[in-house]
Amino acid sequence: MFPIATNLKLIRTPWATYAIIGTNVLIHLIVTWNANFVIPSDIARTLGFVPTLFGNLSTSHRLVTCMFLHGDLIHLSGNMVFLLVFGRRVETQLGMLSFGLFYLAGGITACLVHTLSEPDSSIPLIGASGAISGVLGAFLISNPRARITLVLDPTLIYFFHRLTVRLPAWLFLISWFVLQIGLALKPRSSNVAFWAHVGGFVSGAATVGAVSNYLSKTRISE
């Protein structure tokens, strides 16, 4: 299932979210234009985050640059849709500047958790998934009763005889989080950094939970 919308209305334009999405798309087009929109390995090795290099001040910038690189158009589009669906609401609650800092902090935390899980890895970590996972955690804490519209995969369409369903945010996001933990605990079978997702999610939920009393929340439409 893939999220495409929420039932929440925006109270202001989420410029930071749009800027982050635009920056990611522009960077991907620039660095992959002559490589069939697949990121060249030399760029991933140069700007991606590598756990074995953690602690080297000369490569500390990679904690940020890795968030703006994606392997291919599928990787990019999936991340950007998640950010668009959940990021706009979180930004309106945190404010533009606070959201930008929150987003970067979530991505950095995800890199650090990935380092703890695979300290000897020399494979570059790229993608905005860790930072976006932080946004998902924040959304869960601040908008648990929101309704999320999801597109069903072909198998579920066969059983439910419909294209979309609407689920409570808490159900979808907790299920997503448990799935990430389950995949992280499996023997390594893919290049996806699932522990980074877990770390980003917990970081985002904890941060917003700590400041929830100070957020100017708007009423959720039932």
Residue 222 falls inside a structural domain: no
Is residue 124 in a domain?
A: yes
Q: How many angstroms from the chain centroid is the CA of residue 174? A: 15
| Residue 186 pLDDT | 87
Domain count, the chain: 1
pLDDT in tens, the chain (222 residues): 889 999 998 889 999 999 999 999 999 999 999 999 999 999 999 999 999 999 899 999 999 999 999 999 999 999 999 999 999 999 999 999 999 999 999 999 999 999 999 999 999 999 999 999 999 999 999 999 999 999 988 777 766 667 888 999 999 999 999 999 999 998 775 688 999 999 999 999 999 998 877 665 544 443
Read off the tokens for 19. Answer: 């800027």
User: Could you give the angle at the alpha carbon of 7 between the alpha carbons of 139 and 211, nearest 5°?
Assistant: 25
Residue 68 lies in a domain: yes
- Strand order of the β-sheet with 2-6 is 2-6, 147-151, 164-168
Nearest to 86 by CA among 23, 28, 24, 149: 149
Q: Domain with 176 in it: what CATH number? A: 1.20.1540.10
The pLDDT value recorded for residue 189 is: 59
Asked if the structure places residue 221 within a domain, the reply is: no
Q: Does residue 220 sit within a domain?
A: no
Q: Is residue 219 part of a domain?
A: no
- What pLDDT, on the 0 to 100 scale, is given for residue 222? 37
pLDDT for 160:
67
Q: Which residue has the tokens 């009423």?
A: 219
The answer as to whether 57 is a domain residue is yes
Structural domain range at position 13 = 2-214
Are 125 and 66 in contact by the 8 Å Cβ rule? The answer is yes
Give residue 218's pLDDT. 45
147 located within any domain: yes
pLDDT confidence of residue 221: 41
